[in-house]
Homo-oligomer: A and B are copies of this chain.
């Protein structure tokens, strides 16, 4: 599991060297040649064509972190889009760099704090239309039916749903029956599959 720092020429980053003394400095060509699955690779955003490099190496299964001398939200988004898991200031203290390391090795995302709000907000566009389908599905249901359907979709039993909505189990069954009829599903399992990911076909176990 290599630990690489990709930069142009002899772009020394003392803080980085202090944080990871065992890692090695390489140029983009060497990175493309050596990097593979599980490697941890830091890329400077002042490199020519860094997004393509990040995209390539993350596609191989390496973990990518981008360092910038002038962090900004556009670049942060570029980095994340290319598959980077971390985006920080190039002159961050060693301790912070190690923190980024910890986060990304644990499947997390680390973004320069000042940009975090903007990056999260920027995802709004990408997310907006997603759950429209689910809302469309639930639109044909009455309020009570919807509440029951959502609870069941969480894996709750009829009894648990009854407790949550403060009604009898019998009433839950009544609403659920209406839900099944309106959504055209046989049972609660297919309801879960329908609401979990709407694009999945449902089994016919005739």
Asked, given contacts A73-B130, A102-B102, A127-B77, whether A155 binds B108 with beta carbons under 8 Å apart, the answer is no
Interface stretch of the complex, out of A16-24, A116-124, A168-176: A116-124
Asked whether any CB of chain B lies closer than 8 Å to the CB of A184, the reply is no
- Within 8 Å by CB of A205, from B76, B188, B200, B206, lies B206
Q: Jot down 23 A-B pairs with beta carbons below 8 A, ordered by A.
A: A9-B164, A59-B126, A69-B154, A74-B130, A77-B124, A81-B124, A82-B123, A83-B122, A103-B108, A107-B113, A109-B111, A119-B123, A120-B123, A121-B126, A154-B203, A155-B193, A156-B203, A157-B189, A157-B205, A159-B205, A196-B197, A199-B200, A203-B206
Closest B residue to A195 using CB positions: B70
Q: Out of B59, B120, B188, B205, which one reaches A80, CB within 8 Å?
A: B120
Cα separation A63 to B188 with both chains bound (whole Å): 35
Which of A58, A127, A134, A204 is most buried by chain B, counting CB atoms within 10 A of its CB? Answer: A127
Is A106 located at the chain interface by the 8 A CB criterion? Answer: yes
Binding site for B on A (CB under 8 A): 8-9, 37, 46, 55, 58-59, 61, 63, 69-70, 72-77, 80-85, 91, 99-100, 102-104, 106-111, 113, 116, 118-124, 126-131, 134, 151, 153-157, 159-160, 163-164, 187-190, 192-193, 195-197, 199-206
| Residues of chain B contacted by A80 (CB below 8 angstroms) | 120-121, 123
Residues of B within 8 Å of A109, CB to CB, are 108-111, 116, 120
**Cβ–Cβ < 8 Å partners of A108 in chain B:** 99-100, 102-104, 106, 108-110
Interfacial chain B residues near A203, Cβ < 8 Å: 154-156, 160, 201-206
Nearest residue, chain B, Cβ from A206:
B205
Min Cβ gap A27→B in Å is 13
Q: How far is the CB of A46 from chain B (nearest CB, A)?
A: 6
Kindly state the separation between the CA atoms of A81 and B124 in the bound complex, as whole angstroms: 9
Complex Cα gap A118–B63 (Å):
18
CB-contact partner of A202 in B82, B110, B200, under 8 A = B200
